[in-house]
Amino acid sequence: MKFKVIGITGIPLINKGDLLGEFILDAISDMGMEINDDDILVIAETAIAKSEGHIFKLKDLKPSFEAIKLAEKTGKDPEVVEAILQESDEVMKVGPNFIISQTKHGFVCANAGIDESNVGEGLATPMPEYPDKSASLIRSNIQEKTGKDVSVIISDTQGRAFREGAVGVAIGISGLEPLWDRSGEKDLFNRELKTSAVAVADELASAASIVMGQADEGIPVVLIRGFNYPKNLKNNSSNIKPLIRPKKYDVFRP
């Protein structure tokens, strides 16, 4: 299989109320390209949060007693800890400069996905409130403007248990199933696969993350073209939930 991972350049800094879908189409046009059927757009969650105005002004947050105590343990600013707590349903583990929590969306990650990079001084962006809905709205806008059948993935950069470094993961999706269940297929020795499920949305988000970068690259959107996924993965009502492991199967949680 061969596919292209193309960084979309020329997208301006995003502000609340900006129509991100139209910015994407304008930037693609300026690059001398057009949207094709089956293109996949991977969009950084920070761009979504900015366009939706979902941003914390840290100075406006009044740290709770719990936030102050956790700030002392972690070395993080109390206001940042308060933002993390507001975005979390459960705090699971605390260490030097990190808080592992379960977000309101059900994701388990460091610092509830609160991001202080690529925003102005004193600001922080949480994950979008409804990432699947955000993906669906942008997808609908682009399909309405172009008539092309595309998929949209909202991505975040997260660490992983027992491994250093961060990778891109999917936190919202529209038009494509996030999990590719290959059970029943045969391997090279004609053995039937029993429990082989591929987190295809995460793998695409990770590929896009290499192009997006983590510093001043200024590429919040990546276009993936030519990924030959099975047509049964196309789904207009898809969501990210299949990627979230049910709590009862989480053997690492106390």
> How is residue 48 written in tokens?
């979504």
Spatial separation of the C-alpha atoms in residues 86 and 104, rounded to whole Å: 9
Tell me how far apart the 2 most distant CA atoms of the chain are, in Å.
61
pLDDT of 44 reads: 95
pLDDT of 104 reads: 94
For 126, other C-beta atoms within 10 Å of its C-beta total 22
Nearest Cα residue to 41 out of 166, 160, 188, 153: 153
CA distances to 14, 28, 140, 163, 213 from 33, rounded to whole Å, are 22, 5, 19, 38, 22
* All domains in the chain, ordered by first residue: 1-53+129-240 (3.30.1330.100), 55-127 (3.90.1660.10)
pLDDT of 254 reads: 66
Residues whose CB is less than 8 angstroms from the CB of residue 237 and which lie 6 or more positions away in sequence, other chains included: none
pLDDT tens sequence across 81-104: 999 999 999 999 998 889 999 999
pLDDT of 151 reads: 97
Spatial separation of the C-alpha atoms in residues 216 and 118, rounded to whole Å: 8
Residues of the chain with pLDDT under 70: 215, 254
pLDDT of 24 reads: 97
DSSP letter string, 171-237: EEEEEE-S-EE-TT-B-TTSPBPSS-EE-HHHHHHHHHHHHH-SSS----EEEEE-----GGGEETT
CA distances to 52, 111, 135, 144 from 88, rounded to whole Å, are 19, 9, 22, 35
Residues whose CB is less than 8 angstroms from the CB of residue 13 and which lie 6 or more positions away in sequence, other chains included: 50
pLDDT of 183 reads: 86
3-state secondary structure of 23: helix
In 72-93, which positions are buried (b, 16+ CB within 10 angstroms) versus exposed (e)? eebebbbbbbbbbbebbeebee
Q: Is the Cβ–Cβ distance between 13 and 20 less than 8 Å?
A: no
pLDDT of 215 reads: 67
pLDDT tens sequence across 145-164: 999 999 999 999 998 888 89
